Amino acid sequence: MVLRYLIEKEFKQLRRNSFLPRLILIFPCVIMLIMPWAATLEIEDLRIAIIDHDHSPSSIRLIHRIEASPYFKLMTLPDTYEKGLENIERDRVDMLLEIPKGFEKEQVNGRSASALIAINAVNGTKGGLGSTYLQQILNPQSTSPSILYRFNPHLDYKIFMVPALMTMLLVMICGFLPALNVVSEKEKGTIEQINVSPVSRFTFTLAKLLPYWFIGFIVLNLCIILAWIIYGLAPEGSIFTIYLATLIFVLVMSGLGLVISNYSSTMQQAMFVMWFCMLIFILMSGLFTPISSMPQWAQYITYANPLRYFMEMMRMVYLKGSNMADITQQLGVLSCFAAILYGWAIYSYRKQQ
């Protein structure tokens, strides 16, 4: 009965705050509408300058192939390499292709024709991908293999990002709000009423966590609906598997938020600590870069990152159609995180009688 009244108090406090209900609804919509288009590693419309010293039918056909590619945008045809390099230095183009004299003659004689590629490599990812795209055009294979892309047949980066963004939203909302909850009551002085009441630490902590389970499921369902309407993306696996994983993950993030809130004296302190944790979690979760590409020491650190396991589960269930048996390991690790953080949240809340 006491737990019920405490939960009612939490929802009433949430309802009285005119900003938070709007944030819970508007923030997921903005992230789901904008971030999948902005947070992408797909490279298109690379600006290229081509120097054609050969002026042969073969070199002209090559230029037309590059122009027809969606990855390149032909900006200029300079006469000399120096003029082309000047375009790169002034950031007018991203890369330069120099076709030497005798290019067609080498091909007719059955020899490999050489060409020079100069790339602006300030952005290493962009430069590397641009070089790969251009080499594929320069070296067409006589026999092309049959390639089958599993789970993402059109290599759409948005399909890869959407489940990860759902995870990030749960982290931001279900982590930050609990982190600010207890410390805000400290600043207002209302927590003193709880301190002198017979409410146990277990009941108090549970009453703080349960509303964020509810909020987490609202955010998750909103994201699932938006992903289906806007991107045509629906879970390949069971949605109940996603719900179970979310149930545990929200407990992890809410528990972490309450731990930070219990140890913080002001809202600014809680916000800075939580933001520091969020940056580490997000950057080392595999959201943008694969964990396998990180240094070995960094890969070891990711084992202590709960976001890593939930993101793996979301992508496995959403894209590969994995079932409960496939994500047992991740669920087990998250459950351990949940038990540790929930116990820590109970222990760190000190009642002053």
DSSP assignment, residue 320? I
The model's pLDDT over 219-228, given as tens digits with 9 standing for 90+, comes to 999 999 999 9
The model's pLDDT over 152-182, given as tens digits with 9 standing for 90+, comes to 777 777 888 888 889 888 988 888 888 887 7
Q: Is the pLDDT of residue 1 over 90?
A: no
Element (H, E) at 72: strand 72-76
CB 324 within 8 A of CB 237: no
CATH architecture of the region 46-138: 3-Layer(aba) Sandwich (3.40)
Give exposure, 232-260, as e/b (b: 16+ Cβ within 10 Å).
ebebebeeebbebbbebbbbbbbbbbbbb
Q: Give the Cβ contact number of residue 284 at 10 Å.
A: 19
99: its two tokens? 């076709």
134: its two tokens? 């251009």
Give exposure, 54-93, as e/b (b: 16+ Cβ within 10 Å).
bebebbeebbeebeebebbebeeebeeeeebbebbeeeeb
The Cα diameter of the chain in Å comes to 94
Q: Tokens 């045809």, residue?
A: 77
Domain spans in the chain, listed from the N-terminal domain onward: 10-39+153-348, 46-138
pLDDT in the model for residue 197: 67
What global pTM score does this model have? 0.77
